[in-house]
Structure 1
Amino acid sequence: MIKKALALSAMILISGCNDSDTTASNAPASSTSTEQSTSHKVTDQWVGSWIGVEGLVLEISKDESADPGHYLLEMQYGLDADQSGTFEGQATDEGIRFSRDDGSQLLRAGDGEATGLKWLAEKEDCLVVQPGEGYCRD
């Protein structure tokens, strides 16, 4: 009788361990989804108008036809008329990734100095695509 009780106790303990292992293996999946949702929480704050130099502008809006973390970037990014357009972007841990005619780009947070533009050097709330291309808010 004691042997049966010990065997039954051991089986219960083992099955309890298996359940906790299953729970532990599911934990990273939930943290991954948390990371994805936090990426767009930061970039959601970027929605709105941003001003560059010499007529460069950026307007960020949420892409309502897509999942959270997807954006439409309407921008004049150069002085030529063909250096403008609306581009689809997606939130990442680093910023908003998008593609345009000059290749894959990353829009990331920075300050005026990070833009590399002396006219924006004193600004604190900016978004930078690359040195020489940045947009700020006052």
Structure 2
Amino acid sequence: MRSHVNRLMKTTHPFLAALLIAIVSLAGCSDRNASSQKTADTPAAASAPRTDEWLGKWTGPEGTFLELAGGHGKYDVTVQNLDGPRQFEGRYADGAIEFERDGTKEVIRGTNGAETGMKWLAEKKNCLTVRQGEGYCRD
């Protein structure tokens, strides 16, 4: 009987080992997929939005500028135009920053110089545009 058990162990043991390795491998893949799924389902609010990369000062022509402070979806927006600086409260919305100025909803979006509509900024690459004809750049 003992020889049967030894023979069975010799033939079964590699099979059991392979089965165990397959089960562990599948379980590992399953956990990895679950982890990826959790990351994909995590709300955007848990991490800073891309608009946080826009913090700081952006310059326009003739001494104008746009300055963004704050972060994580809430921004202090300062717009310096020829009449002087004005401050507004901004918030993240669909990859941009929205704020209200004189009863109008304004949207700050990432663009290049040509998209600002301003000939002084046309060759620039890294810009923010509030509206056609109102843009600010960093390069």
User: Do both share a fold (TM > 0.5)?
Assistant: yes
Query: 1:54: which partner in 2?
Result: 62
Give the counterpart letter for 2:76 in structure 1.
L
Structure 1 stretches of 4+ moved >6 Å: none
Equivalent-residue separation in structure 2 for 1:121 and 1:49 (angstroms): 19
Equivalent-residue separation in structure 1 for 2:94 and 2:114 (angstroms): 22
Paired residue for 1:72, among 52, 60, 76?
76
Q: CA deviation at 1:79?
A: 2.2
The higher radius of gyration belongs to 2
How many pairs does the alignment contain?
A: 101
Q: Does 1:35 align with 2:47?
A: no
Q: CA deviation at 1:94?
A: 3.2
Equivalent-residue separation in structure 2 for 1:56 and 1:88 (angstroms): 19
Q: Does 1:96 align with 2:105?
A: no
Q: CA deviation at 1:36?
A: 4.2
Give the counterpart letter for 2:92 in structure 1.
A
Query: What value does the CA root-mean-square deviation take over the aligned residues?
Result: 2.0
Larger helix percent: 2
Q: Structure 1, residues 37-76: CA drift from partner, whole Å, max 9, x if none?
A: 56x420110000100111211111006xxxx310001111
CA contact (8 A) 2:128 2:137 kept: yes
3-state DSSP of counterpart to 2:63: coil
Q: CA deviation at 1:93?
A: 1.6
Whose RCO is larger (CA < 8 A, sep 6+)?
1
